[in-house]
Amino acid sequence: MFSSERLKGIDVFVSVADLGSFTAAAERLNLTSSAVSKGIARLESRLQVRLFERTTRRLALTDAGTAFYRTCRAVLTDLEEAELSLHAESAEPRGKVRIDLPASFGRLHALPVILKFVEDHPALLPHISFSDRFVDPVEEGIDIVVRIGGPDVWPKALGHRYLGAERLIFCASPAYLSKHGAPQTDHDLEMHSCVVYGRSDGLVSPWYIAGTQAGGFERRVMSARLAIGDGESEAIAAAAGHGIAQLPTWAVKRQLENGSLVEVLPHLATEGLPMNLVWLKSRQALPKVSALLAALTDCLTPSGSTL
């Protein structure tokens, strides 16, 4: 049988872990520092494990404390969401929502949507991270994820929505093309300076060249004039005249519009990776999640099939 004793001290423990200080936690909870310290001591005694390493200069979670913190934080979040879900139909989006975005696409396209949404819903408290690595929303407690690429079959715990596919084009600056000439065929690319994506393992990502094989496209590793591990920076280097780059249209939309980059070899453009909006199904009914999902879907889904 569940005992309410298990809930005692959890709010105090989470506050201390969040703030890293008995004093700061006491101020948040409107308690004395002594009461907070005694509450943590009672909790450690009940659990028979040390939750914090204490020195005169710092307070840090032990390994056991870190594991317990993750569980307690999830429990408190679930309780908050259970209360909010009772009023889901009429409630204003509010509270903390965790979002993870791909670095370049997130900064250029998803972040402006979220910032506008926050202006309209000031009670929302987004926690936004940027990463291009694989993230597990269930394990890491992330409400909403925007991802380029993804598995063929999504886990049952996750909802997902296809936003469209990237369109990969070749582009260069007018100054570069004036000096070196524009390529006319895929073989001409071998004679040009190439700005490519440099991976963290020291290798470079291949280019995808459409129409050169029966399968639809060829993967070709190019000799790199510059290898840069960031899509925005690739676009900057190409616009500065350092060579030809293959980039998704979402990454060079502004440069194409202002003329600092122009497309070359348009017949070799190809579809890239799929773009997906992913979320925890267990939280999708919450106003803060459902409303933000709708906003991201409306603004990130193109009129066509490519981004």
By CB atoms closer than 10 A (0-12, 13-18, 19+), residue 119 is: exposed
- Residue 36 above 50 pLDDT? yes
Instruction: Tell me the C-alpha distance between 250 and 266, whole Å.
Output: 16
Mean pLDDT along residues 248-277:
94
> What are the structural domain ranges in the chain?
4-85, 95-159+275-300, 166-272
| % of the chain with per-residue pLDDT over 70 | 91
Mean pLDDT along residues 270-289:
89
Q: Could you tell me the CATH superfamily of domain 95-159+275-300?
A: Periplasmic binding protein-like II (3.40.190.10)
- Per-residue pLDDT tens over the stretch 62-82: 999 999 988 888 788 777 766
Specify the pairing of strand 270-280 against strand 194-197: unpaired
E strand or H helix at 158, and its extent?
strand 158-172
Which CB contacts under 8 angstroms, 24+ apart, belong to 297-306? 297/161, 297/163, 299/109, 299/113, 300/109, 300/110, 300/113, 300/146, 300/163, 300/275, 301/163, 301/164, 302/163, 302/164, 304/164, 305/164, 305/165, 306/164, 306/165, 306/166, 306/167, 306/249, 306/271
**What is the rounded average pLDDT for all residues in the chain?**
87
**Would you say the CATH fold of 95-159+275-300 matches that of 4-85?**
no
Is the domain spanning 166-272 CATH 3.40.190.10? The answer is: yes
Confidence (pLDDT) at 55: 76
- Per-residue pLDDT tens over the stretch 152-188: 788 888 999 999 889 999 999 999 999 999 999 999 9
- The domain 4-85 is placed in CATH, from the list 1.10.10.10, 3.40.50.300, 2.30.42.10, 3.30.530.20, at 1.10.10.10
- Name the least confident of 4-8, 161-165, 175-179, 298-302: 4-8
Confidence (pLDDT) at 130: 93
- Residue 240 above 80 pLDDT? yes
Instruction: Tell me the C-alpha distance between 60 and 21, whole Å.
Output: 9
Q: Are 224 and 194 in contact (CB under 8 A)?
A: yes
- Per-residue pLDDT tens over the stretch 206-234: 999 886 555 577 889 998 889 999 889 99
